[in-house]
Amino acid sequence: MDFRISADDRVGAPNRRQNKPQARPAAKGQRVEPVMGQSMAFSVDAERPSGSGNGGGGKPPKGSRKPPRKGKAQPARQRRKSRSGGLLMGLLWWGFVACLWGGIIGIGIIVYYGAQLPASNTWAIPERPPNIRILAADGSLISNRGQTGGEAVTFRELPQYVPAAFIASEDRRFMSHFGVDPIGLLSVAIESVQAREVTRGASTLTQQVAKNLFLTPDQTLGRKVQEAILAVWLEQNFTKEEILELYMNRVYFGAGAYGIEAAAQTYFGVSARNLSLGQAAMLVGILPAPSAYNPKTNPDVAKDRQRLVLNAMAQEGYISAEEANAARINPDQTIRTVVAGSESYVADWVESLMTAYIGEIDGDVVVQTTIDFKMQKDAEFIVKEQVAAEGPKRGFTQGALVAMDIDGTVRAMVGGVDYQASQYNRAVTARRQPGSTFKPFVYLAAMEKGYTPDTLAEDAQFDYNGWSPRNASGKYAGTVTLRQGLAYSLNTIAARLAIDVTPEKVVEVAMRMGISSGLTPVPSIALGTQEVNLLELTSAYAPFANGGNGVIPNVITRISDVEGNVLYEASNAGPGRVIDPNVLAEMNDMLKTAVEVGTGRGANLGGWDFGGKTGTSQNARDALFVGYTSAMVTGVWLGNDNDTKTTLSGGNVPATIWSEFMTKAHEGRSPAPIPGGSYAGQLIAQQMIDPNTGMPLIDPATGQPQVQYVDGGTGQPVQTMTDPSTGQVFAIDPATGAPIEGLTPAGGQGINPPIQTGTMIDPATGLPVEGGIDPTTGQPIQQIDPNTGLPIESGQIIQYDGNGQAIDPVTGFPLQQPTNGFGAAPIDPETGLPMTLIVDPATGQQVWVPSAPTQNGAQVVPPGQLQQEQPVYQEERSQRTLMDLIFGN
């Protein structure tokens, strides 16, 4: 049925205009189009049957609207909601698609860069570089050395606020994330988009550990991906405490400090175990930019960074707001950081010795040194004070000092006035001309040749192969004694002596005394033109102070690992005697004169007997003073690193520094004289020298240098015996075998108890043997005739070395294994042949000498006998009395 609504049925139809044409009905099957500006016809069906009444079936009026679809019409609001819902669904769909493809691409990237890493079953935490913990003699810390600058500490050794500061400042979700922090990444991404630049990093602590342990610092996509992969692996294989411990012990804090312990020591001079809350916050504040935020270089920035860390800790609940305020440093307050002092020069020296002592270091070690920390600080203060006070006036900027006990044990070392400004060690590394401090070695060579302190020499200009030495003062005193020549540091006298004894001999003496630098044997060596370092020069004076024994400078007593296993321990072995006792007495006599009335008279040490020598190089570029007591030897150097001239001399500022330091170093000690004078009544151990080679004789049984004892009064060899129960050596009368009264070892306390003549001592037990039976041979004890070396009737003590080898009582050489007693001749260790007993024409004593014939009929000299030549000046003259007038004394 065709249902229509006429225009008359519409509301308000009568008021409408009636002259508009009526729309034609559409033909059957045609679409009805709405006519713009006319009312729209609504119909139930889309078409009507043809032939119906009222003109139905024609075309619809032009501009008519399309009939609505069947069903209920939707309001406009609902239509808008429908369109919005479609958009949202579309966005969700395409977002899902984008995420899916993004995930696929992300997985591909992870797989690609992950494949470039080694197999995960090979991943392991790299070993931390070993630390060298260097301690003073009293156990206090001098410094840490190594690549890290500090030892590792465990998580639980630290106060709880130390790891809390790291977490609050660097990664507040550290305890909850899985190695990568998605929330943190999103937060940084939003901030960066808003700021249109990267505002901050998004790496977690775990990622930073992964980067530091395994990767390079390159800022690339591949490196970041690998960092994330490794961070997840770390979280799966280590606890949070272990990861944080790895981070704290390896992160860089600036100033060469890697790890929290190194940073605490570097900046505050305390262990990380003892950090305060404020100090911990300041150290953590350094991490984003170590060079810019550390309190040494930028204290104001460091204060701001400390405040930020403390606030973060309070926000995260690790501390209260009151605790944060209390720990915060006052903005007007100066940050007190530790300053690396002169002990750092010692630490550098010790570090340089480690490989030579224990080889490559593969773990943390503890080094015990000989340094006296109080002496070290006294030396540092005195050198700095004098350089600051006198340097501007005299034109010098640097100083160095070395102090050691008379056995070579180094107690203090100053390598410069400011370690932070310059780490160059002027006591060990620098080699400078010693000037006149080298002259004692020239005079020692002369004394060994036969000169004496009272030998006369001519102080006057001379020419030797084009070389013409001059005195620094330009004045010449004429005929003087050698004592005066050394005391007043006369260049011409030293030069004449060097030429006479030969420069080669001077070099040999200097090296024997302890100079280790290469020396060229030229005449000018007498004036100290060969460069040496202050350490070796000071140690070369030690034999003058200790009775004539050479020393090897030593600063390390023990090296152990952190478990306490000893890797190295110092011994007291040394070169042995290097100066004849009588020559030593003469040298000390002259060196005492040098500080009493000579160039070193500016030095003083109340109540102590001391000797020493000044030195000033050409144009006063170097000024030195080396002096000693019976307890200590100290050397001082002053000058400029650029080798420019000064107005110094060894007798002014260097002598003053020496006096001030030695006065403090000797506080509380009882004064004792330096070796010198008569050695009568003392046994002096003397190394035995092969007269053919000039080298020490080696005991074939022990492999050690052989020694003999001489009478300190006469210098002649004496027969000795060792008490097996006490180990003490004493002289015996060769005729009776009885101990010689009054002749005891130098510095010894005599024999306690003396061994009775005729008593046999068992070398295994050290106890007397009843019945006079030799426990080695089972034969009756027989006395050895010292003239023939053959056994005689009635008993005498048989001598043994530490290996049970019988010793000849005259020479100290091992006896050939006897068959019936101990009468066989000793064996020459060089030839393996029995030695021959002859009479020494110089002493009239019978001595053993090699059996092999001598060359050119030369007289064989007994081992250890010093050859003496006649002095150049034999005529005794009266000492000049114008010395003080000439040299202004």
Got the DSSP string for 157-182? Answer: GS-THHHHHHHHHH-TTTTTSSSS-H
d(CA 476, CA 493): 10
Give residue 846's pLDDT. Answer: 52
Give residue 676's pLDDT. Answer: 74
Beta strands 720-722 and 729-731, pairing class: antiparallel
d(CA 320, CA 402): 52
d(CA 636, CA 614): 10
Of 1.10.3810.10, 1.10.10.60, 3.10.20.30, 3.50.30.40, the CATH number of 148-327 is: 1.10.3810.10
pTM, two decimals, is: 0.65
Residue found under tokens 């909601």: 81
Measuring CA to CA, which residue among 589, 501, 486, 548 is closest to residue 747? 548
119-128 pLDDT tens trace: 656 677 788 8
Residue 143 main-chain phi, psi, to 5 deg:
-175, 165
Enumerate residue ranges in the chain where pLDDT < 50.
1-65, 70-71, 746-771, 781-798, 800, 804, 810, 815-824, 852-889
Q: Are the beta carbons of 313 and 164 closer than 8 angstroms?
A: yes
Give residue 550's pLDDT. Answer: 94
Residue 633 main-chain phi, psi, to 5 deg:
-120, 135
Measuring CA to CA, which residue among 166, 314, 329, 171 is closest to residue 250? 166
Q: Are the beta carbons of 184 and 202 closer than 8 angstroms?
A: yes
Burial class (CB in 10 A: 0-12, 13-18, 19+), 446: buried
Which of 143, 436, 539, 617 is flagged as catalytic?
Answer: 436
Please name the CATH architecture into which domain 435-530 falls. Answer: 3-Layer(aba) Sandwich (3.40)
Is 64 a residue of the active site?
A: no
Residue 89 main-chain phi, psi, to 5 deg:
-65, -35
Give residue 32's pLDDT. Answer: 39
* Half-sphere exposure of residue 95: CA atoms within 13 angstroms, side-chain side: 6
Give residue 199's pLDDT. Answer: 52
Give residue 829's pLDDT. Answer: 53
For residue 613, give both structure tokens. 């020598």
What are 382's strand-pairing partners?
none
Amino acid letter for position 243 = I
- Residues 476-512 as b/e (b if ≥16 CB within 10 A, e otherwise) read bbeebbbbbbbbbbbbbbbbbbbbbbebebbbbbbbb
d(CA 188, CA 703): 74
Is 770 a residue of the active site?
A: no
Which of 151, 170, 261, 390 is flagged as catalytic?
Answer: 170
Measuring CA to CA, which residue among 421, 376, 377 is closest to residue 398? 421
Give residue 728's pLDDT. Answer: 64
Q: How far apart are the first and last CA of the chain?
A: 153
Please name the CATH architecture into which domain 343-429+534-577+600-679 falls. Answer: 3-Layer(aba) Sandwich (3.40)
**Cβ neighbours around 525 below 10 Å, total:** 22
Residue found under tokens 């100033």: 255
d(CA 565, CA 576): 30
Give residue 180's pLDDT. Answer: 87
d(CA 808, CA 822): 9
For residue 591, give both structure tokens. 């060196």
Give residue 607's pLDDT. Answer: 86
> Where do the structural domains in the chain lie, given as residue ranges?
1-70, 84-115, 148-327, 343-429+534-577+600-679, 435-530, 687-889
**Cα-based angle 117, 120, 124 (whole degrees, multiple of 5):** 100
Q: How far is CA 149 from CA 146, 347, 448, in A?
A: 5, 11, 50
Give residue 767's pLDDT. Answer: 47
Q: What SS3 class is residue 290? A: helix
d(CA 651, CA 437): 11
Amino acid letter for position 735 = A
Topology match between the domains 343-429+534-577+600-679 and 435-530: yes
